[in-house]
Amino acid sequence: MAITAGLVKELRERTGAGMMECKKALVETDGDIEAAIDLMRKSGAAKADKKSGRTAAEGLIVFKSSDDCKNTVMVEINCETDFVTKSDDFLNFSSAVVKAALDQKPADLDALLATSLDGGENIADATKTLIAKLGENMNVRRFVSRTTDGVLGNYLHGGRIGVLVELKGGDEALAKDIALHVAARNPNCVSEDEVPAELIAREKEIFSAQAAESGKPPEIVEKMVGGRIKKFLKEITLLNQPFVKNPDQTVGQLVEAAGATVVGFDRLEVGEGIEKKVENFAEEVMAQAQGS
C-alpha cells in the first residue's frame, strides 16, 4: 500500500511522533494506522525501559486547586534536564497529571500512576510514551494532597520548590505568606511537640560530645546541652522561626495576631534526596576514544 502524506500526517497528529518515525511505522504495517500506533507504542515502551535506569533529578513541582480552594494537590514530576521542563509536551503532561490527582483523589502514588488521563492511557503508560518521544527518563515521583474546612495557601518558587500550608482561621494571603516562609527557611515541623524524639536524642548526643570536650564540670555541661537543644528546637520549628518578611516577629506571633493556627504544611523540592551522577566528560571522551 502506498504511504501517502495524508497517512503520515494523521499518524503524527495521533501520536505526536516525528515524521520519519511515523513513515517507518506505516511502511512496516503496510499503511495500517492502528497497527502502526501499536508498533510505535511497543517500540516506545522498549525505549523507555532502556532509559529507566538514568538519573532524573530535574523537573517541576505543579499545583492544582478545586474551584472552592478547599482541596489542593501538589505533584513532583522529574526528568533528566532542565531543558525538557520547558517543552510543551512536558508542561502539558504535568498539567494533566496534577488535574487527574485532584479529580480522582488517588490514595497513594501507585493509585495515581494507574489513573487514566483524558486520552485514555493511564499515567504510568503515558509516562513511557513521553519518555520515548522526548528521549529522557522521567517519572511522577510523589504527590501530596490536602482537603480542609479551613484555609489552604501555596507558594511555588521557580517551579522547583513547592509549599502547601493549611490554616484554621486566617486567610489565603496569610497562608501564602507562611508558605513562602517555609520555602525559604525549610522548617522540620510546625511546633516543638511535633519534633521526633529520635531527632532530639541524636542532637543531644552530638551536643553532649561537643560540650564534654570543653573540660567543664558535668553540671555545667548539662546546662550547655540544654541550652543548645532549646536553640536547636527554635531553629527547626516553624512557629519559633523569625518570619522571613519581618524578622522582628516569629511566625507564631504572626499567626496568633491573625487569630489563626497552623494545621500543617508540606514542602517538596525537585530532586530532593536523589543522588545525582557527576559527569566527568574528560573520562567519557577518553573511554570513547579507547573504545573506537
Same fold, 5-51 and 54-147: no
pLDDT at 288 over 60: no
pLDDT at 44: 58
* Count of CA atoms in the C-beta half-sphere (13 A) of 106: 22
Give me the pLDDT at residue 292, please: 44
% of the chain surpassing 90 pLDDT: 54
**Where are the chain's structural domains?**
5-51, 54-147
The mean predicted confidence, pLDDT, of the chain is 86
What count of other Cβ atoms lies within 10 Å of the Cβ of residue 183?
21
Contacts for 188 with CB less than 8 Å, ≥ 6 apart: 195, 199, 236, 237
- Please report the pLDDT score of residue 42 as a whole number: 64
Q: What is the pLDDT of residue 137?
A: 87
Mean pLDDT value across residues 42-54: 54
User: pLDDT class for 37, splitting at 50, 70, 90?
Assistant: confident
Q: What is the pLDDT of residue 182?
A: 96
CB-side neighbour CA atoms (13 Å) of 159: 12
Range among 22-36, 71-85, 204-218 with highest mean pLDDT value? 71-85
User: Three-state DSSP class for 92?
Assistant: helix
277 vs 18, residue with greater confidence: 18
Over residues 27-31, the mean pLDDT reads 86
pLDDT in tens, 206-250: 888 877 777 777 788 788 888 888 899 999 999 999 999 999 999
CATH of span 54-147: 3.30.479.20
Segment 13-21 mean pLDDT: 69
CB 240 within 8 A of CB 233: yes
| C-alpha cell, 23 | 513513515
Residue 9 or 280, more confident: 9
**Residue 76, SS3 per DSSP:** strand
Q: Which fold has domain 5-51?
A: Helicase, Ruva Protein; domain 3 (1.10.8)
pLDDT value, residue 53: 58
Question: Between 61 and 202, where is the model more confident?
Answer: 61
Spatial distance between the Cα atoms of 153 and 69, rounded to a whole number of angstroms: 9
Alpha helices (H) along 186-277: 197-212, 218-236, 251-257
> What per-residue confidence (pLDDT) applies to 187?
96
pLDDT, tens only, 134-193: 888 899 999 999 999 999 999 999 999 999 999 999 999 999 999 999 999 999 999 999
